[in-house]
Amino acid sequence: MVLTEEQKKARKKEANRKYRENNTEKIREQRREYNKKNKEKAREYDRKYREDNKEQIRETQRLWREKNTEKKREYDKKYREDNKEKKMEYDKKYREDNKEQINEKKRDFYKNNKEKMKEVKRAYSKTDAGIKSRITKTWKHRGLVDNFDKVYERWEYTLFCDLCRCDLDQCTKSVKCMDHDHANGLFRNILCRSCNVKRG
Ligand SMILES: [Zn+2]
């Protein structure tokens, strides 16, 4: 039987395919060997391939991500966990190297979102966390050096003046005073305004 060129080609192709199928490990090993020997060349080739097929690769990756959302999320999570230290260091260095630029961006952002930022701040100031932040900030400013969480908890749940026992709830909130030792900055008592003024 005489084979036509077409048939010869097809036969060769089929034989090659079979060979590849039966020798995946071997071929992979050969490729690894080759790449090891030609690392630089391979790297250059890889770089060029990626450069030339940017769009296609991006599309392939996009499709893969779409099909593997869960997997991708898990992978990202694991990657972040494994590289926490590295990332923190990188971020720190980035911030240091780009201080001016970042500040500029921040300024621009505030300028362009003035009203929105005001609204966000206003909303935050009405939350429990916002109230706590505002009050503890004034304490810090006045020189309190203590466990702010603990002092705030005491301040929040104290209903009567520690000295005269008057009902603090009858007054407005500003009348409830955090009294601290001015010498060492440590918290002393929750007092009504009158007791606080007397103590000085
Ligand atoms: Zn009092």
**What's the CA-to-centroid distance between 129 and ligand 1, angstroms?**
27
Q: Looking at residue 131, what is its pLDDT? A: 94
**What's the CA-to-centroid distance between 178 and ligand 1, angstroms?**
12
**What's the CA-to-centroid distance between 150 and ligand 1, angstroms?**
21
Does residue 181 lie in a domain region?
yes
**What's the CA-to-centroid distance between 179 and ligand 1, angstroms?**
11
**Range of the structural domain that residue 151 is part of:** 131-199
Does residue 85 lie in a domain region?
no
**What's the CA-to-centroid distance between 193 and ligand 1, angstroms?**
7
Instruction: Please count the CA atoms within 13 angstroms of the CA of 44 that sit on its side-chain side.
Output: 4
Does residue 40 lie in a domain region?
no
Q: Looking at residue 90, what is its pLDDT? A: 93
**What's the CA-to-centroid distance between 171 and ligand 1, angstroms?**
11
**What's the CA-to-centroid distance between 89 and ligand 1, angstroms?**
51
Q: Looking at residue 171, what is its pLDDT? A: 59
**What's the CA-to-centroid distance between 1 and ligand 1, angstroms?**
115
CA–CA gap between residue 41 and residue 47 (Å, rounded):
10
**What's the CA-to-centroid distance between 162 and ligand 1, angstroms?**
7
Residue 124's CB: how many other CB atoms inside 10 A? 13
Q: Looking at residue 3, what is its pLDDT? A: 80
Does residue 112 lie in a domain region?
no
Is 0.75 surpassed by the pTM of this model? no
**What's the CA-to-centroid distance between 138 and ligand 1, angstroms?**
21
Q: Looking at residue 31, what is its pLDDT? A: 84
Does residue 100 lie in a domain region?
no
* Residue numbers in the chain where pLDDT is lower than 70: 1, 171-174
Domain count of the fold of the chain: 1
Does residue 169 lie in a domain region?
yes
Does residue 60 lie in a domain region?
no
CA–CA gap between residue 10 and residue 80 (Å, rounded):
49
**What's the CA-to-centroid distance between 172 and ligand 1, angstroms?**
14
CATH of the domain at 176: 3.40.1800
The residues, ordered by sequence, that sit 6+ positions from 87 with a Cβ below 8 Å of its Cβ are 80
No. of H helices and E strands in the chain? 11, 2
**What's the CA-to-centroid distance between 132 and ligand 1, angstroms?**
22
Does residue 156 lie in a domain region?
yes
Q: Looking at residue 176, what is its pLDDT? A: 87
